[in-house]
Copies of this chain bind each other. A is one copy, B any other.
């Protein structure tokens, strides 16, 4: 008997399990979740089990359950559930004899399958379940159930429809909503979100095929109850007989762009019409169309192949890319990727710096259209960012630590988990003082503009965000008369285990960078693009703030290395107590430190949650020498518990940069195991979206050696020992480049339409259109 997730040496597209363990439901639900950016489904089984988290999310449908709570992505009525009874006995695979059990997600096609033989109380059946969320028809979900009777005659009874009794862990986001059954088989439910007042139209139907009878008319009865509408069916199977049940469902919401302005009644009719069409098309064709879209829009675009001694490496990059596309709401610029994607209730569907620093680079370098949507979201968020700045007494755009609908402003909840010492809920300070998000947003936009060369976006949106965020920082700086410098006091840096610190290095450096960037941009625009300049000046009163920038920028305090070369994480970090972290660093679980200490106590120790100074050294590598990086690595890594999934990828890339390839590869393995590993509880609240972006970064930035530094491309690969070959692609200023790396050589093929130049190992190279450049490593 194996345990945990199952992977297949010969197939880097499958993740699955061959043991059904109800203690691990959450892992499978999240790691094998389905989605198309518009909607996401946790991969719960059709029948219910204790401990399941039956979640369906639709991007952007944010709602607030009460004034005391923050807005969140609501768990919408369930379309997936189906309860079976065989000769009156409830199908429950934890009972009886379960053999040939397999549950797999095929990431290439986006199909989830489950199959088994179940023997219980005289019944013996072969059951196959299939499911997909359509990648080509965003509103559509397909399910197929095959039951073959391997024993004596059996009556298959099942109840299936739409279940609106689901909640977000007890919080209900919807009104009851109308329920309608049409022609005895098309079920629809039309609830509204309680506060944001968005209507949903949920529809489902069943098509039953028994042997040759394609539209089998089984005995059935509608059952409508509170927040639910079901049909109950009875089908008799003689020995050897088989039944196929197709359940086709769809979701529409009032905010869908293509139905803008339509009434709920009109959308109900559209949904019904489309559902009938899909019913005729049938599961298999609908699925094939969806799989083709995965192939065309994801897998065949700049494929990544890793030749490694460890087959899981290829699997990991496939896993990362699969989920990034399943959760990115590429269809609507008013939406962004959530920290848990669409795969769990964790972090309430909110967007963090996880996007800009961890996930956006993947899209910027490989799917610039999606990246454009994600950076446009931040431009749409300026209104909320102004609101936040104003509320806090600042100027310009202060981006929210957690973002939901673009103009919502700050949506970080105020109260978190229990303090083990006081027993009271801990206050979450991030929404108030974790301010580096503002420069992170500017960083992501700058990288997007540099890599894509998207001038239109830059002129219409990107420049504005960079200037507006710099305005914020200029107003945020605090003059210290005694020290004759500007400081940034009372913040949380990337290391969230240090609250209320002064002069967090990452925050100060990135604020400085942001203002400096704005100064250069101001000067460049004033000089070269006067029309753009005057528009922005009118909007942002740039001429006034420019003087401030110039006056302040060089007086910003940038924490300098100690004599030993250690950059202080903040003013007090280096004077705090050092404790033995072995126990916590070795724990397969994160956050175990809090079984022994509360946050107040951890605040007083040299313990770092995640890359902080080291992230600075990675993102702004030009500012620091390799030696400085090494000193700081040696100082900070041992004090870092990696309690955030955002930590390992940064460390792995930096380790690769520092020629610690074995260590880097070890971290790479740890990072992929955040969601794919043996800790079967780590993904209960959803997959770790930033970590997925991190997987791509480790491959392409870490081992592929790609960087965009001050608008210039650099490619300096260094493969880990286990890898013999790495092939990947990036799009540089619209030109697809295919990069193939082995231990001795890197080749760059320019499949674009203009010549590109880059730097590698200290030299500069040009690659003409349609040619390949080989460089020895």
Contact = CB atoms under 8 A, between A and B. Distances in A.
Given A170-B226, A172-B172, A194-B66, A595 B418 contact: no
A222 B167 contact: no
A22 B50 CA distance: 13
A221 interface: yes
Interface in A367-420: 417-418, 420
Contacts of A171: 172, 176, 226-227
A68 interface: yes
A155 B68 CA distance: 40
Contact of A423 (B66, B92, B222): B222
Given A23-B90, A167-B172, A172-B172, A224 B66 contact: no
A634 interface: no
Given A49-B50, A50-B49, A423-B181, A225 B176 contact: no
Interface string A202-245: 00000000000000000001111111110000000000000000
A169 B176 contact: no
B176 A165 contact: no
Contact of A418 (B166, B167, B223): B223
Contacts of A90: 22-23, 50
Interface string A173-186: 00110111111100
A11 interface: no
Given A170-B166, A181-B423, A424-B180, A418 B222 contact: yes
Contacts of A228: 170
Contacts of A12: none
A164 interface: yes
A95 interface: yes
A186 to B, nearest CB: 9
A71 to B, nearest CB: 14
A165 B168 CA distance: 9
| Main SS at interface, chain A | loop
Contact of A176 (B50, B69, B166, B424): B69
A724 interface: no
Nearest to A417: B224
Nearest to A174: B170
Contact of A169 (B227, B420, B425): B227
A125 B419 CA distance: 35
Interface in A10-55: 22-23, 48-50
Nearest to A348: B226
A94 interface: yes
Interface string A70-107: 00000000000000000000101011000000000000
B165 A165 contact: no
A275 interface: no
A689 interface: no
A194 B65 CA distance: 10
B169 A165 contact: yes
A181 B95 CA distance: 38
Nearest to A221: B595
B423 A176 contact: no
Nearest to A181: B423
A425 B179 contact: yes
Contact of A170 (B172, B178, B180, B222): B172
Contacts of A164: 170
* Count of chain copies: 2
Interface residues of A, number: 48
Contact of A95 (B95, B180, B425): B95
Nearest to A85: B23
Interface string A629-653: 0000000000000000000000000
A467 to B, nearest CB: 39
Contacts of A183: 423
A170 B227 contact: yes
Interface in A219-275: 221-229
Contacts of A221: 420, 595
A197 to B, nearest CB: 11
B420 A65 contact: no
B420 A222 contact: yes
Contacts of A229: 418
A49 B417 CA distance: 27
B226 A169 contact: yes
A228 B165 CA distance: 19
Interface in A92-127: 92, 94-95
B169 A167 contact: no
A276 to B, nearest CB: 15
A171 B23 CA distance: 27
Nearest to A89: B23
Contacts of A175: 66, 68-69
A65 B172 contact: yes
Specify which of A90, A171, A183, A595 lies most central, judged by the most chain B CB atoms within 10 Å of its CB.
Answer: A171
A684 to B, nearest CB: 11
A66 B195 CA distance: 11
A48 B22 CA distance: 13
Contacts of A169: 165, 225-227
Nearest to A94: B95
A170 B167 contact: yes
Contacts of A194: 66
A63 to B, nearest CB: 12
A629 B424 CA distance: 69
Contacts of A48: 50
Contacts of A95: 94-95
Nearest to A163: B170
* Those 4 A-B pairs whose CB atoms lie nearest each other, nearest first: A181-B423, A165-B170, A224-B418, A172-B172
Given A95-B95, A182-B423, A221-B420, 6 more contacts: A65-B172, A164-B170, A169-B226, A170-B226, A179-B425, A222-B418
Interface of A: 22-23, 48-50, 65-66, 68-69, 90, 92, 94-95, 164-172, 175-176, 178-184, 194, 221-229, 417-418, 420, 423-425, 595
28 contacts: A48-B50, A50-B50, A65-B172, A66-B176, A66-B194, A68-B175, A68-B176, A164-B170, A165-B169, A165-B170, A167-B170, A167-B172, A168-B226, A169-B227, A170-B172, A170-B227, A171-B176, A171-B226, A171-B227, A172-B172, A180-B424, A181-B418, A183-B423, A221-B420, A222-B418, A224-B418, A225-B417, A229-B418
